Structure 1
Amino acid sequence: MDLRFLKNKEINRELWDKGIASSHHPLIYAESWYLDICSPDWSAIVDVDYGFLFPLPVNRSIGLSLVMQPLFVQQLGIFSKEVPYPMTLIDTLQKICYPVVNLNGNSSMMVGSAKQRSENLPGIPEYNSTKGVISQLGRSVRLKENCILPLTSTYEQLAVNFSDNCRRNLKISKQKSFGTGPCNSSDQFIDFTKKHLNYSISDKDLRLLKGIVDEALQRSCGFIISCDNSKGEPLAMAFFLNKYGRLTFLSGSSSLQGLEYRSMFAIIDNVIREYAGTGIILDFEGSDLSGVRRFYEGFGSQKEYYPAFENHLLLRLWNLFRRVKKQHKKSGVRLSFNISNYLCNKNR
């Protein structure tokens, strides 16, 4: 396979999006418009006819170009018409010319039965055979967990798998919440998110989220759902991406009253009711947090695994440099270095 490294301006957006759409495991994160928002300087490794695609989200900081997993992008990796072989992944990783890499692949890169994945991760032969060779390249690979719910059955059949805790919370939400329905205002969603999100988020990241929401609404590949009280005031709001047979729960938050009324349970239940029997996959997009994961598992979600790659040594050095730079910044001492051009030229 003739693989080439392309800079951002060298990438044919039309061929790229056609290649993503025709791949065996397309994801909206990898479409050019989505990458343009989340990582404006993204580059890629492609073959001649764009039948093999590997996006590289590039972030530039203190004179150094880094490949770092962007916010609001859970999975990237290889997109091709056929399931990639382990050696194809290794050949691709050798083409990455950036000195620091912290990048998630996608679940299609982890072949093997669901039983193997859930019961015996080290027993996945493809994972083990690839892991050793990748380590020799100065990179490490580990598995991350995602929660998904295939909506292949009727709602009644899906609801059988709801946990007792989930059922109790749904009962509370039905008693307290007035109604759940669509919202077409990204401004209202962002304002609500800024006010009620239970973790700190910068204005820059909020603008990034708004850019995604606006473009997805414009392209009819995303929607906002709001759960309101009797006064029509939102108790909880959530945004979902919707493309390639996958509903991705990208962002959601609840007010204090919404938490009390379990309003996010009502939103997820509403989505499951509406799309039950369609075969669409509800992708909860996480989570490593036990409390959040329990919420997803309460709806009967399944585990899905995807790989994460990084330059283990250089990433540690990079993190060390950032800490040192932060300390010296207070004293007025400026630290900078740039080795990315050297490494790129060396590997091309």
Structure 2
Amino acid sequence: MVYGDYQAVFPIVYKKIGFFKKCYPPFFCQQLGLFYQKEENDKGTLNLLANCLNYLNQKIKSYEFCSTSEFMGVFSNIKSDNLEITMPTPLSINVTRKNLVLNLSLKYSEIAGSYSTNTIRNLKRANKASLFIKDYSNPQDVLYFFKKNIEKIANLKSKDFLMLSDLMDSSMEKGIGKIIGVLNPDKMLIACAFIISHLKRDILIYNTADKSYKECHGMTYLIDFYIRNNAESDRVLDFEGSNLPGVYRFYHGFGAIENNYLLIKSKHPGLFRYTSF
């Protein structure tokens, strides 16, 4: 959806259910929502969003998407200033999703100085395990590893892994994708991460570790390696979450700070309430 003379662009991902359409957040895409030219004030931005949501109400009715993190501050200012904005109803805009980011502009020693006690302890254990890093150029070399270690936990289907494979292929062809693996002394892959770099932001799209080797702390080793090799750059490492306490604690242990975003959705009763993708 394009608003005005490209004042805003709103990517709409939807699926047909009978005669109806439902807009939903696609896998492997944390924030989508509205991309817009900066307005002079927050009220102008919110009016722009309201117009887009009203249009969605007319054309799709049932929608759910995660707005970009910039809207967190906008909504906070609207509430504090008591500004009146006509949003479509019924609508839920107060569902906060947690995201963690790490500024890589500092020296490695300064970043590592913010590691939690638990992260430091696990990193020492990883360093004693004689682990080493391997870069992968072929997504097929790691897809089975991803599927074996995350499929049931993340409730992903075969078609979702095909989508992930396409995303890996496309991003690596464009030179913005990177697959990093951690191997043990027996050359067994024990942890792996897929990262996309764009606009000075390194986004941890997907990562997992083999629980059989959890005492090696392969993922801690991998993330520390990435931080060490990208410190003193004008980049940000985006961990992409999470609301799950254990995952949040793990990422936060590297000194990452919150850069949250909003889940915005309509609250239409009936059919769509019980529909998932």
TM-score (norm 1): 0.71
SS at match of 1:111: helix
Quote the residue 2:46 is aligned against: 86
Q: Deviations over 1:109-139 (max 9, x none)?
A: 2236xxxxxxxxx9x2225669974655321
Partner letter of residue 162 of structure 1?
Y
Equivalent in 156, 165, 178 of residue 223 of structure 1: 178
What is the CA–CA distance in structure 2 between the aligned matches of 1:146 and 1:140, rounded to whole Å?
19
Q: Greater relative contact order (Cα 8 A, min sep 6): structure 1 or 2?
A: 2
Q: For residues 130 and 275 of structure 1, do their structure 2 counterparts lie closer, same or farther at Cα, with a shift above 3 Å needed?
A: farther
Q: For residues 173 and 216 of structure 1, do their structure 2 counterparts lie closer, same or farther at Cα, with a shift above 3 Å needed?
A: same
Contact 2:50/2:87 (8 A) holds in 1: no
Deviation at 1:231, TM superposition (A): 2.2
1:108 aligns with 2:65: no
What is the CA–CA distance in structure 1 between the aligned matches of 2:83 and 2:261, rounded to whole Å?
13
Report the count of equivalent residues: 267
Pairs within 5 Å for 1:50-61: 50-61=6-17
What is the CA–CA distance in structure 2 between the aligned matches of 1:131 and 1:288, rounded to whole Å?
29
1:175 aligns with 2:132: no
What is the CA–CA distance in structure 2 between the aligned matches of 1:318 and 1:175, rounded to whole Å?
54
What is the CA–CA distance in structure 2 between the aligned matches of 1:193 and 1:56, rounded to whole Å?
28
Query: What percent identity do the matched residue pairs reach?
Result: 24
Quote the residue 1:139 is aligned against: 91
Equivalent in 280, 284, 298 of residue 235 of structure 2: 280
Equivalent in 176, 196, 201 of residue 149 of structure 2: 196
Q: For residues 134 and 144 of structure 1, do their structure 2 counterparts lie closer, same or farther at Cα, with a shift above 3 Å needed?
A: farther
Contact 1:45/1:92 (8 A) holds in 2: no
1:126 aligns with 2:89: no
Contact 2:31/2:68 (8 A) holds in 1: yes
Moved more, 81-90 or 124-133: 124-133
Deviation at 1:70, TM superposition (A): 0.8
Q: For residues 127 and 149 of structure 1, do their structure 2 counterparts lie closer, same or farther at Cα, with a shift above 3 Å needed?
A: farther
Deviation at 1:79, TM superposition (A): 1.5
Equivalent in 216, 221, 224 of residue 266 of structure 1: 221
Unaligned runs of 5+ residues in structure 2 are none
SS at match of 1:110: helix
SS at match of 2:260: strand
Partner letter of residue 46 of structure 1?
Y
What is the CA–CA distance in structure 1 between the aligned matches of 2:274 and 2:69, rounded to whole Å?
32
Moved more, 210-219 or 190-199: 190-199
Moved more, 219-228 or 194-203: 194-203
Contact 2:46/2:85 (8 A) holds in 1: no
Contact 1:134/1:141 (8 A) holds in 2: no
What is the CA–CA distance in structure 2 between the aligned matches of 1:130 and 1:267, rounded to whole Å?
46
SS at match of 1:156: helix
SS at match of 1:70: coil
SS at match of 2:146: helix
Structure richer in helix, relative to its length: 1
What is the CA–CA distance in structure 2 between the aligned matches of 1:65 and 1:127, rounded to whole Å?
31
What is the CA–CA distance in structure 2 between the aligned matches of 1:111 and 1:320, rounded to whole Å?
29
Contact 2:180/2:193 (8 A) holds in 1: yes
Q: Deviations over 1:148-170 (max 9, x none)?
A: 11111011000111000000111
Quote the residue 1:241 is aligned against: 196
Partner letter of residue 86 of structure 1?
L
Partner letter of residue 67 of structure 2?
G
Contact 1:45/1:95 (8 A) holds in 2: no
What is the CA–CA distance in structure 2 between the aligned matches of 1:129 and 1:185, rounded to whole Å?
52
Q: For residues 321 and 195 of structure 1, do their structure 2 counterparts lie closer, same or farther at Cα, with a shift above 3 Å needed?
A: closer
Quote the residue 2:137 is aligned against: 184
